Amino acid sequence: MKKGKKQKVKQSKTKKGNFLLDLITRIEYNIKYVKRKGVEMAKSVNYTDEMVNTMTEQYAANPTRETVDALADQFGKTTRSIIAKLSREGVYVAQPRTTKSGEPVISKAELVATINEHFGIEMPTLVKAGKQDLQKLVDAISQ
């Protein structure tokens, strides 16, 4: 090779802007190939039937968060994974939401509904009031 001459880099036949189109075409071809040949993908199983049976039995006997934590430790899974599997099996019971003080969470809409029911009138803009004020009003009419 002579000095000073640059070697040309051979570009593909497609234009640079068609990279995405080429990629989609290749993916479509692979999908058609898999469908035509009947190639089946192997599925990895996170939970065996034995594990699922054990989880559902233990949780049904004691449906608490501590049971979920114990199952997570036992099977080496996260608590979110255990909860998701129990939910899929139709066994999981969501724990009621509570405030920091341990009281159940009450929405402003529920407080307004209680006030409306007590007075027998509809006050739609009452929802815009502060939750603490609504709670005081409900407490006052409940006494």
120-131: per-residue pLDDT in tens? 989 888 889 998
DSSP secondary structure of 101-137 = TSPBP--HHHHHHHHHHHHTS--GGGGGS-HHHHHHH
Please tell me which residue, 39 or 53, carries the higher pLDDT value. Answer: 53
What is the model's pTM?
Answer: 0.49
Is 49 strand, coil or helix? Answer: helix
Contact 92, 86 (CB under 8 A): yes
**d(Cα 43, Cα 39) in Å, to the nearest integer?**
13
Here the tokens at position 1 are 């090779």
- Looking at residue 57, its pLDDT comes to 94
Domains of the chain by residue range: 49-88, 108-142
- Looking at residue 11, its pLDDT comes to 47
4 backbone φψ class: left, alpha, beta (φ>0; ψ -120 to 50): left
